[in-house]
Structure 1
């Protein structure tokens, strides 16, 4: 961030009074510009014990398998964003059951939230974002072709919960993956 979005003056980085972190501050209008994590939302759609995965048609990780998901938009809840992303990537209508994972990725300033979702009817179609969509039995998931570690973690957590015959609601997987930015400098 180089310029103030309020007055267009060049920004400086300093710790504002009463704060404890360096922030982008405008020396002209005193606006403080916070940079906060971005939230990624998605679903783990299940139809008759099979999990729907989408083959990515866009970067990053094009041609790899993933759960439908993406960036949350302003003016929507976590669940609304997850439903929208599922529709955008698969044209599948799903019913949110419960939050299944919350995974922090401090190195890239993101938090990934996935919901377990029931897919009553196995109706879906490819989109610009997904070139192939398939229902996988847990034993048939192409683990070596899963696009993101957060998706692997979510899938493993769900499968472990089912194998242990845990009843819904499942415990939410709440974890952090990878290093923090401060660990890498």
Structure 2
């Protein structure tokens, strides 16, 4: 950040009085600009024993499969974001159920929240950000072609819970990928 979004003056990176972390601070108007994690919210759309996945038409991970999810917008709840993202990416209508997983992806400053959801009908198709949408049984999930580790983790937990006959809320952390030496 170079300029204050409040007054347009140049900002400096420093630890403000009473804080412990560096922030972009405007010395002209005193505004402190906080950079906080992004919320990625989506759904696990269920139809009988199948899950709806979308094949991505955008980067990152173009061509890979994912659950319908994306960045939460201002002035919406997480459940509203899950329904909106499912409508945008899969043109699907869902009944949002219980929050299923919260995955901290701190190395990229994101929190991923996924809800269980029931597809209201089979009227779905790719949205602008998807190349393809399809229902998968557990045996058909393209595990090696999943776009994100948070999606793979959530689906593994989902199928473990389904086999156990009881769904529970999961919280997990995903570490930064190992770097090549």
Q: What does 1:22-41 align with in structure 2 at a 5 Å threshold?
A: 22-41=22-41
Q: Which residue of 2 aligns with 1:174?
A: 171
- Is 1:125 aligned to 2:125, yes or no? yes
Q: Report the secondary structure of 1:86's partner residue.
A: helix
Residue 140 of structure 1: CA displacement? 1.2
Deviations 1:89-129, CA, capped at 9 Å, x for gaps: 11111111110111111111111100000113222011221
Counterparts of 2:118 and 2:45, CA distance in 1: 6
- Is 1:135 aligned to 2:106, yes or no? no
Deviations 1:22-67, CA, capped at 9 Å, x for gaps: 1111111111000000101100001011011011111111110000
Q: In angstroms, what is the RMSD of aligned CA positions?
A: 1.2
Q: Which residue of 1 aligns with 2:157?
A: 157
Q: Which residue of 2 aligns with 1:58?
A: 58
Q: Which residue of 2 aligns with 1:105?
A: 105
Task: Return 5+ residue gaps in structure 1 as ranges.
Answer: 181-185
Counterparts of 2:39 and 2:64, CA distance in 1: 21
Cα distance change of structure 1 residues 69 and 7 upon mapping to structure 2, 3 Å threshold:
same
- Is 1:77 aligned to 2:77, yes or no? yes
Runs of 4+ in 1 over 6 A off after TM superposition: none
